[in-house]
Chains A and B, each alone.
Chain A
Amino acid sequence: MIPEPPFFDLVAYTVAILVLVVSMAQNLLYFVLLLIAIGVMAGRPRVRQSRALWNGVVDAAPPISIIVPAYNEAATIADSLRSLLAIEYPDFRILVVNDGSTDQTLEVLCEAFALEAGAIDHVSPLHHAPLRGLYHSSRHANLLVLDKENTGKADTLNAGLGRVTTELFCAVDADSLLEADGLLRVVQPFIEDPERTVAVGGTVRVANGCGVRAGRIRHVALPKKLLPMLQTVEYLRAFMMARLAWGRLGCLMIVSGAFGLFRRDVVVELGGYSTETVGEDLELVIRLHRYAREAGRDYRIDFVPEPVCWTQVPDTLGVLARQRQRWQRGALESFFTHRDMLLKRRYGRVGRLGLGHILLLDVVTPIIEVIGYILLPFFWMNGTINTEFFLAYLAMTFAFGVFISVASLILEEFERRRVPRAVDLVRLTIAAVVENFGYRQLANFWRIQGHWHYLRGAGHWGRQTRTEFATA
C-alpha cells in the first residue's frame, strides 16, 4: 500500500505535475506546428525569381498604399523610405505618418525628400488625433507625409488609413526595410483569391549586421552581438514554423505590425486599429476573424514566407525588455478583449485553436514556467520529486526548445536558404542551443513583468531607441 503523502508533498506534487503538463502541452503544440510547417513547405511550388514574378503579376497587381508610422525614427527613416521607394511594384504610394516625433524625424524627411507643405485634402472615415500638416515630395510623386500629434502607433496608423484611397494598404514599420520584390510576393493571395483574402503577412527578419546601401540590403549577414543573434533564431522559429502552420490551419492570429497587407474597406469598416491596446496588430487580426465569422463570410488571412521585411531588433537588454513587456501586454489585452470567442463553436477553429493557443502560450505558460524555474529545483533537492521527474522537466523546459529551434533552422535551410554561409549556419545552431539556457528564462521573466503591467494598466509604449543600419 502506498503511504499517504503529507500536505506539503501533495502541494509540491500538484505544482510539479502542473508545470510538467503545461510544458508538455506547449511542446506538443510546437511539435505539431513544426510537422504542419514541414508539410506546407514540401507542398509549395518553387519560389519564382523576381523577374518571372513581375511578368506573372504585373497586369493583375492592384494599387497599394504603404503606411509608415514614424515616431522618433530620425536615425533610420531616410534609409527605410529609400528602400520603399525602390521597391518593384507597378503602382504604389507611400504615406508616412509622423506621430509627433520629438527628434528630427520630420526635418530629416523634409531634407532628404524635398517635402513641401500642402493643404489637408481629405475627410477621414476614422477617428484619430487632428492632423498638423500634409507634405508632398517634389521629387517623388508617390510620397506623402502626414504630421500629427503624438497619440501612439494605432492612432497614427488610423490617420494614415484615413488618407488611403487604394483597395489594399500595407503597414510597414519605419525601422524596417522591405525587400524590392516584397510587395509582388505578398500580394499574390489577393490576386489569386481577391474575394476571400482580407489580410496577408510576410516574413520579418533581423537586419542587425546586414549591410545597407541606398535603402537596400546589399549584404546579408548575421548580427555580431549575441542578443540580436538570439532574436534571429526566435524570428526564424516564429515565421518559418509557427505562422506558416497557423496560416495553413486558417487561424493565423497575428500579421506582424512590421509588415502586413490588408484590405482597406474591411479594416475601415471595423473602425481601424484599436487604440485601447499596445498590441494593435494582434488585436486587429483577431477582430478580422471575429467580424468575418460573425457575418458568415468566407474569408482568408494568410501568411506567405517569401516576402521579406528586414527590421532592426534591440541590441541592449533594457530596450529588449521593454519591447517584450509591451508585446506580452498587447497579447493579454487582445486575448481578454476577445475572450468570449474562446472555445465557442461559432468561431470555429479561431475560437478553439487560435484563442486557445494564445491562452496556453501567452497567458498561462510564462507564469507556469517561471514557477517551475523557482520551485522544481527546490523540490528535487529536498527529495519531493525524484531524478527521473526532474530530468523529464529539464528535457521539456530546456532540451525540447533546442530541438524546435534547430528544426526551424533545418526548415529554413531546406526551403529558403537565406543564411549566407556555412559558418553562419554553425553560429545560428550554437545560438539555437544557447538560447534555451538563460535567454528563454529571461524572456519569460520579462513576460511576467508584462503581465504585471497589464494588471496595473500601464499604458505607454516605453522609450524606444533606434540605431542606424550598417552601411554595406
Chain B
Amino acid sequence: MFGLASFDLVMRLIWTTTLVLVAIGLVLMTALVVHRLFEEWREARYRPARETLRKALLVSLNRADAVPSAPPPGLPVAETARLVDELAQIVRGDARRRLAAFAVGAGVEQHWLRRLRSRLTPYRFDAARCLALLDTAASREALGACLAQGSPRLRLAAAEALAQDPAKAGALAASFAVEPLARSRAATRFWHRIATVAPDALVDRLGAETVPPDLAIRLVEALGDAGHSAAAARIRALVGYHSDSLDRAALAALDRLKHPFVMQAARTLATATAPDSRRAALAVLARRAREQDLDVVQSLADDPISDIGDAARAILTRLAAPAAPGAEPA
C-alpha cells in the first residue's frame, strides 16, 4: 500500500508475529493439557494409597501416638511429600514435630533436598518453603546455601525457614537484604518472625544509618506488632526525619506498643506537611488526648483539609464535655 515496500514489510511483520504468538499460545496450552492428563492419571493411580496414609497420619498426629514409620508400598515419595506439605499447613506444636520426624523417615527430606538443587526456581522455592518444616542439620545447611543464590524469592523463603532458630535469626536480622521484595507479604512475615525470635538484633539493625526507609518501615511494623517496648526509643527517633510513610509507621508502632512516646510522635506529626500524617496524628490524639494536648488538637481544627478540621473539632467538643456522672475508672 502507498507503493512503499517498507510499509508492506511492517504489515507482514504484524500478521506473522501475531500468528507466531497464537501458535506459541496454542502449543503451550496443549502442553498444559497433556500435563493435566498425566496428573489425572497419577491422581487416579495413587489417590487410594495417599488417602490411606492421610487417615493414618491424622489419627496418629491427633492422638500423640507414634506416627507410621513408612508410607504404604508403591506410593512415590513425591506423593508423600505433597501430603506432608498439605498437613504441615494445618498442624502445629508437637504434632508438627512428629510430622517432621515422619517426613525425614519417609525420605521426604531427601526429596526436597533434591528439589532444592533443581534448575527450576519454582521447584527450589517450594522445596525451601517445605524444608522449613524440618529442623535437621542437612536441611539447615542446604537452606543456608540458598541465602547466597540469585533468586530473591528463594533467598527469602530460605531466610524465613532459618529464622526459626534464634542464633540464625540474629545474624539474618543484622544483614539480610530482601530487596526487591521489601514490600512483599513474605518479607513482612519474615521480619515479623525475626521480631519475635530476635527483637534486639532487629532494634540494632534499625539503628544503623544505612537502613533504607522501606526496610525501616517493615522493621518498625514488625517490632510494633511484636510488642517489643525496648524498641520505642529507637522508633521515636525516626519520626520527622525520613519519609511520611516511615513517620506514620513509627507512630502506629508506638501506638501499638502503648508507649508514652506516642504522644510526642503525634505532636510532631500534627505539624507534618503530608495530610495523611496529620490524619494519623489526629487518630492517635482522638484516642489518647488529655487536656494538656488541647493546643495540638486546636491547631488541627483550622486545618485546610476539611475532614481533618472536622475531626479535630469533634475531639475538642468531646474533651470539653464534662465526664458522665459515676463514670470512674474500673
Contact = CB atoms under 8 A, between A and B. Distances in A.
A417 B245 CA distance: 37
A192 B217 CA distance: 13
A27 to B, nearest CB: 8
Interface stretch (B102-110, B184-192, B293-301): B184-192
A221 B178 CA distance: 41
Contacts of B12: 388, 391-392
Interface string A379-396: 000000110110110111
A400 interface: yes
Contacts of B307: 269, 295
Interface string B33-71: 100110010000000000000000000000000000000
Contacts of B25: 402-403, 406-407, 410
A402 B14 CA distance: 15
Interface in B1-43: 1-4, 8, 10-12, 14-15, 18-19, 21-22, 25-26, 28-29, 32-33, 36-37, 40
B200 interface: no
A192 B305 contact: no
A140 interface: no
A43 interface: yes
A413 interface: yes
Contacts of A344: none
Interface stretch (B142-150, B272-280, B316-324): B272-280
Contact of B33 (A2, A195, A425): A425
B14 A24 contact: yes
Interface in A82-101: none
A422 B36 contact: yes
* Chain A interface residue number, banded: 35 or more
Contacts of A298: 244-245, 274, 276
Given A395-B19, A410-B29, A413-B32, A45 B2 contact: no
Interface in A154-206: 192, 195
A297 interface: yes
Contacts, number: 111
A395 B14 contact: yes
Given A402-B22, A402-B25, A429-B29, A413 B36 contact: yes
Contacts of A13: 1-2
Contacts of B3: 2
A396 B18 contact: yes
A49 B88 CA distance: 11
A11 interface: no
A141 interface: no
Nearest to B37: A422
A429 B15 contact: no
Chain A binding surface SS class: helix
Contact of A388 (B11, B26, B274, B280): B11
Interface in B121-164: 126, 129, 153
A49 B10 CA distance: 49
A429 B26 contact: yes
A149 to B, nearest CB: 33
A25 to B, nearest CB: 13
B14 A392 contact: yes
A48 interface: yes
A394 B19 CA distance: 11
A413 B39 CA distance: 13
A399 B17 CA distance: 10
B100 to A, nearest CB: 17
Given A46-B129, A388-B11, A396-B18, A296 B29 contact: no
Contacts of B274: 296, 298
B275 A295 contact: yes
B248 interface: yes
Interface in A395-449: 395-396, 399-400, 402-403, 406-407, 409-410, 413-414, 421-422, 425-426, 429
B15 A391 contact: yes
Interface in A264-315: 269, 295-298
B274 to A, nearest CB: 7
Contact of B22 (A2, A399, A426): A399
B108 to A, nearest CB: 18
Nearest to B9: A388
B175 interface: no
A51 interface: yes
A48 B185 CA distance: 13
Contact of A195 (B153, B280, B305): B280
A46 B160 CA distance: 14
A134 B179 CA distance: 54
A13 B4 CA distance: 13
Given A43-B184, A429-B26, A421 B18 contact: no
Contact of A48 (B15, B89, B275): B89
B330 interface: no
A52 interface: yes
Contacts of B29: 406, 409-410, 413, 425, 429
B8 A45 contact: no
A192 B185 contact: yes
A410 B28 contact: yes
Contacts of B120: none
Given A43-B184, A297-B275, 17 more contacts: A2-B3, A43-B181, A45-B186, A49-B86, A51-B89, A51-B90, A269-B307, A295-B275, A295-B305, A385-B1, A388-B1, A388-B8, A392-B10, A394-B15, A396-B18, A406-B26, A429-B26
23 contacts: A2-B3, A43-B181, A45-B184, A46-B126, A48-B89, A49-B86, A296-B274, A297-B275, A388-B8, A388-B15, A391-B11, A391-B12, A392-B11, A395-B15, A399-B22, A406-B22, A406-B25, A406-B29, A414-B32, A422-B37, A425-B33, A426-B33, A429-B33
